[in-house]
C-alpha cells in the first residue's frame, strides 16, 4: 500500500512529463504536437516579442533542452527547455504569424499551431501576453478515472496479500490444502488431499496426493507430473514419504534438469504410467 502511494506522489507533485514532440510542416501552417505521460492540466501562457513567441507550460516538465531548425515561412526555429516546474518553448516566427493551442480529448496531447494571424498588441504598441486555460475533459471525470484506476490497483494488492498470507498460514500450521476436481462428485470423500509435501527448488514441489483409495506422488510447479501411484502400500508417515523420495531421487533430479520441451514429453509418459 505504501509503495502504491509513493508511486502516485510524483504525479500529484510534479504534474505531467513531456515524452515527445513532433513537427508537422504544412503548406499553410506548422503544427507542433506534444505528448505527455499523464493528462496535462496546467496552464499555457504566450508572450510575443518581435519575431519571437515565448510559450510557458506550467506543470509540464521536460528532461533536457530540445532544439529544432525549420525552413518554413511560418516557423524558423523551435527550442524547448526546462523552466522551474514547467517548460519554456521559444519559437522564432515572422511578425504576422500567430500561435493557437488545443488539447486532445484525453489531454495526453497538446497541439501548437503556427499560422498567419492578426497580431494582438496593447493600445500603446507594447508586447502583449496571454494566459490560456485549455479545454479538455471535466475535472470530475478525470478525477473519477484516477479513482477507478487507484481502486483497481488497491484491490489487486489486497488480493495478492490475502493469498500470500493464506499460503504462509497453511505452511506454518501444517494444514492440508484440499484440491477440488470439478468433474468429481461433490461428496467430501471424493476430494483430493495433500498428505505430504516437500519443495524441490524455487518453482517446484513434490507432494503426496491422496484421492479416493489411492495415493499419487506428483511434482507441482512449472508442469504437474505424476511420478507414481500407490494403493495398499501408500505412505502413512513422513518417514514413509521421505523413503519414497529417496527411491525416486534420480527421477526427480532428471526432471529438474529438463528444459520445457523435455518436461512436456516426459509428462505424457508419466500420464500413461499413472493411468495404467
The tens digit of pLDDT for each residue in 107-148 reads 999 999 999 976 555 444 444 445 554 544 444 555 666 678
pLDDT score recorded for residue 182 = 40
pTM to 2 decimal places: 0.43
In this structure, the answer to whether residues 27 and 121 fall within a common structural domain is: yes
Burial of 260 (0-12, 13-18, 19+ CB in 10 A): exposed
Q: What is the CATH number of the domain that holds 68?
A: 2.60.40.3470
Are residues 129 and 237 both part of a single domain? no
**Residue ranges in 92-178 assigned as alpha helix (H):** 139-173
In a domain, 160, yes or no: no
Quote the CA–CA distance of 39 and 103 in Å, as a whole number: 10
Identify which has the larger pLDDT, 244 or 33: 33
Long-range CB pairs of 70-73, under 8 A, 24+ apart, other chains included? 70/23, 70/25, 70/30, 72/25, 72/30
The DSSP line for 184-214 is S-S-GGGSEEEEEEEE-SSS-EEEEEEETTE
Taking all residues of the chain, what is their mean pLDDT, rounded to a whole number?
Answer: 75
Give the end of a domain, one of 78, 103, 135. Answer: 135
Q: Which neighbouring-strand residues pair with 47?
A: 54, 129
Domain extent, residue 242, equals 176-275
| Within-domain flag for 159 | no
Question: For the segment 85-116, what is each residue's pLDDT rounded down to a tens digit?
Answer: 899 999 999 999 999 999 999 999 999 999 99
Q: Is residue 170 part of a domain?
A: no
Comparing 150-164, 233-247, 258-272, the range with the smallest average pLDDT is: 258-272
Give the pLDDT confidence score for residue 23 in this predicted structure: 93
219 and 112, same domain (yes or no): no
- Range with the poorest average pLDDT among 23-32, 77-86, 195-204: 195-204
88 and 184 in a common domain: no
Could you report the per-residue pLDDT of 188-214, keeping only the tens digit for each? 445 678 888 888 777 778 888 787 778
My answer on whether 117 and 208 are in the same domain is no
Q: Are residues 195 and 96 in the same domain?
A: no
Task: Look up residue 141 and give its three cell numbers.
Answer: 471525470
Grid cell for residue 49: 516579442
Same domain, 24 and 127: yes
Q: What is the pLDDT of residue 176?
A: 47
Domain end, chosen from 135, 160, 187, is at 135
195 is a domain residue: yes
Which of 106, 135, 164 is the last residue before a domain boundary?
135
Residues 47 and 101 in one domain: yes
Domain total in the chain: 2
Quick check: 192 and 181 in contact, CB under 8 A? yes
Nearest to residue 109, comparing CAs of 25, 38, 10?
38
User: Hey, what's the cell of 13?
Assistant: 507533485
Tell whether 149 is covered by a domain: no
Amino acid at each position: 500500500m505504501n509503495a502504491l502511494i509513493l508511486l502516485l506522489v510524483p504525479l500529484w507533485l510534479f504534474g505531467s512529463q513531456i515524452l515527445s514532440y513532433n513537427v508537422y510542416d504544412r503548406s499553410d501552417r506548422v503544427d507542433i504536437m506534444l505528448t505527455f505521460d499523464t493528462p496535462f492540466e496546467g496552464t499555457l501562457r504566450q508572450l510575443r516579442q518581435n519575431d519571437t513567441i515565448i510559450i510557458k507550460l506550467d506543470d509540464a516538465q521536460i528532461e533536457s533542452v530540445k532544439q529544432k531548425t525549420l525552413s518554413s515561412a511560418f516557423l524558423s526555429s523551435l527550442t524547448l527547455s526546462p523552466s522551474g516546474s514547467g517548460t519554456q518553448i521559444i519559437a522564432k516566427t515572422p511578425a504576422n504569424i500567430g500561435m493557437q493551442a488545443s488539447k486532445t480529448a484525453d489531454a495526453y496531447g497538446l497541439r501548437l499551431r503556427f499560422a498567419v494571424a492578426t497580431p494582438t498588441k496593447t493600445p500603446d504598441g507594447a508586447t502583449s501576453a496571454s494566459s490560456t486555460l485549455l479545454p479538455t475533459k471535466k475535472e470530475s471525470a478525470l478525477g473519477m478515472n484516477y479513482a477507478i484506476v487507484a481502486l483497481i490497483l488497491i484491490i489487486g494488492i489486497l488480493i495478492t496479500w490475502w493469498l500470500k498470507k493464506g499460503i504462509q498460514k497453511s505452511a506454518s500450521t501444517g494444514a492440508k490444502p484440499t484440491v477440488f476436481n470439478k468433474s468429481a462428485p461433490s461428496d467430501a470423500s471424493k476430494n483430493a488431499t495433500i498428505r505430504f509435501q516437500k519443495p524441490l527448488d524455487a518453482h517446484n514441489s513434490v507432494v503426496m496426493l491422496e484421492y479416493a483409495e489411492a495415493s499419487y506422488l506428483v511434482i507441482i510447479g512449472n508442469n504437474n507430473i505424476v511420478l507414481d501411484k500407490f494403493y495398499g502400500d501408500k505412505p502413512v508417515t513422513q518417514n514413509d514419504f521421505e523413503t519414497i523420495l529417496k527411491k525416486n531421487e534420480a527421477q526427480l533430479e532428471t526432471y529438474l534438469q529438463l528444459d520445457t520441451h523435455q518436461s512436456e514429453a516426459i509428462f505424457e509418459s508419466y500420464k500413461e504410467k499413472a493411468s495404467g
